[in-house]
Amino acid sequence: MLNHRLLPAALVNELKVIFGDRFSSTAVVLDYHGRDESSYPAQPPQAVVFANSTEEVASLVKLCSLHEVPIIPFGAGTSLEGHVLPIHGGISLDLNNMNQVLGVYPEDLIAIVQPAVRRRQLNDELKDTGYFFPVDPGADASIGGMAATRASGTNAVRYGTMRENVLALVVVTAAGEIIKTGTQAKKSSAGYDLTRLFVGSEGTLGIITEITLKIYPQPEDIAAAICSFSTVTDAVKAVMQVIQLGIPVARVELVDALAIQAINRYSKLTLNEQPTLFFEFIGSSHSVKEQAELAQEIVSNHGGHNFEWAAHPEDRARLWHARHNAYFACLQLQPGCRIINTDVCVPISRLAQCIAQTRQDLDTSWLKATILGHVGDGNYHVLLVIDPDKPDDLVEAERLNSAIVHRALQLGGTCTGEHGVGMHKIDFLVDEHGIGAIEVMRTIKKALDPKNILNPGKILKI
């Protein structure tokens, strides 16, 4: 895949005229744009262009379309399935100069941002308004990347995913045309829902250059808690009952015993090293107290113990910082290791069965593996620790990944709840959707990108 033809000299000359020193083919810049957080080796592009505006993106796309050269949008580089790797060569389009919050409109509960605005950056700008943006995938990802991968995260059980929180987009098509999808209105029945077509398309149908988002009032009161269980199954069953009884938790996260061990070492904590649930409750002081008491009663009935409540902001921050750093903590489980991170999502009623059987599979393998989960909406992750110098580790990790995915599909779930397809999960799409649906997706791709220049080799094989 790395034996790419040279970029056409005419294209290079035109790009140098338009972008000047924002066109680069230096080795260090190419190497940086050939990596993400996946386990794939670096695959550098042939050149990198740094765009400052939607109009510049459109100019680039028109030229690349003329010369049939691939374009791969690049933001924070935090994707986990090889989304930003230029496997067919071409130009990496770095959008990080487009990092402005264009407008905040509290009266309409919306904010408008450029694609490179980071999640934390947006919330820093919102904090004095009394509002916040809730989608939290853990990494400080770019909003454009989050929209492109239909990200979700810890708050999805209460606020939904990017699919529910994007109202409108500005998109550059494969022909270099600038289009707008959606409006600032909360709902519409006007025409095809192009916004949700592009949300989750991973840069394969168009390049997102502006996003209109929903924002929410900051809660009056917040309380967090952790509790331990003897088994992962007991923890998941407790969550299932909490959700099925309609207790409006804001976040509920599962971390298994091995991950807690890693977190303790990495974050210098002394958490009980058993399967653990992290809860967060928001609302008025009265409602938070009521939610927490109901959840604690249910959890106790399922064997939950060692409750630790965190009502002060610094204590909550300590707990959630530890949870968000679980990936990096697990990297310390084995010297020189890498992690293959997979995720699936199943109906909440099947979650306990799915995780218990997955844990059985993991326990029969020589690989170290941890389970983390946004279990309030049926989504869980498995972090498979491999030695990159041992080919058998990679083979075993992919065997386990396949078993995890196929079990989720058999239980009515999906091959990815939030990471997206990228390169890694293309082959599972047929099993999930069927050949007929895949052909519809190919038809859409070919109609919107007939030359296959937008992030080729991701989601679908064309």
Provide the residue ranges of all domains of the chain, joining segments of one domain with +. Answer: 9-94, 101-217, 221-327, 330-410
Strands (E), 63-100: 71-74, 91-94
Q: Top-level CATH class of 9-94?
A: alpha beta
DSSP symbol at 47: E
For residue 299, which phi and psi values (nearest 5 degrees)?
A: -60, -40
Q: What was the pLDDT predicted at 2?
A: 46
Q: What was the pLDDT predicted at 323?
A: 85
Q: What was the pLDDT predicted at 193?
A: 96
Helix (H) or strand (E) holding 409: helix 391-410
> For the whole model, what pTM was predicted?
0.93
How far apart, in whole angstroms, are the C-alpha atoms of residue 455 and residue 449?
10
How far apart, in whole angstroms, are the C-alpha atoms of residue 20 and residue 7?
17
DSSP symbol at 295: H
CA separation (Å) from 374 to 191, 382, 426, 445? Answer: 34, 12, 23, 31
- What's CA 432's distance to the chain center, in Å? 19
CA separation (Å) from 171 to 44, 204, 207, 223? Answer: 25, 12, 5, 39
How far apart, in whole angstroms, are the C-alpha atoms of residue 119 and residue 224?
21
Which residues share a beta bridge with 214?
110
Q: What was the pLDDT predicted at 3?
A: 47
Two domains, one topology: 9-94 and 330-410: no
Domain 101-217: give its CATH code.
3.30.465.10
Is the Cβ–Cβ distance between 413 and 419 less than 8 Å? no
Number of helices followed by number of strands (H, E) in the chain? 17, 18
Q: What was the pLDDT predicted at 4?
A: 62
Is domain 330-410 in CATH 3.40.50.2020, yes or no?
A: no
Please calculate the CA angle 298-300-302 and round it to the nearest 5 degrees.
75
Domain 221-327: give its CATH code.
3.30.70.2190
Q: What was the pLDDT predicted at 315?
A: 81
How far apart, in whole angstroms, are the C-alpha atoms of residue 288 and residue 265?
31
Q: What is the pLDDT of residues 310-355, one digit of tens each?
A: 877 888 888 888 888 888 899 899 988 899 999 999 999 999 999 9
Low-confidence ranges of the chain (pLDDT < 70): 1-4
Sheet with strand 101-105: strands edge to edge: 101-105, 110-113, 206-214, 166-173, 178-182
Long-range contacts of 16-24 (CB under 8 A, 24+ apart): 18/56, 18/59, 18/60, 19/49, 19/50, 19/51, 19/56, 22/49, 22/50, 22/51, 22/52, 22/97, 23/47, 23/48, 23/49, 23/50, 24/48, 24/49, 24/50
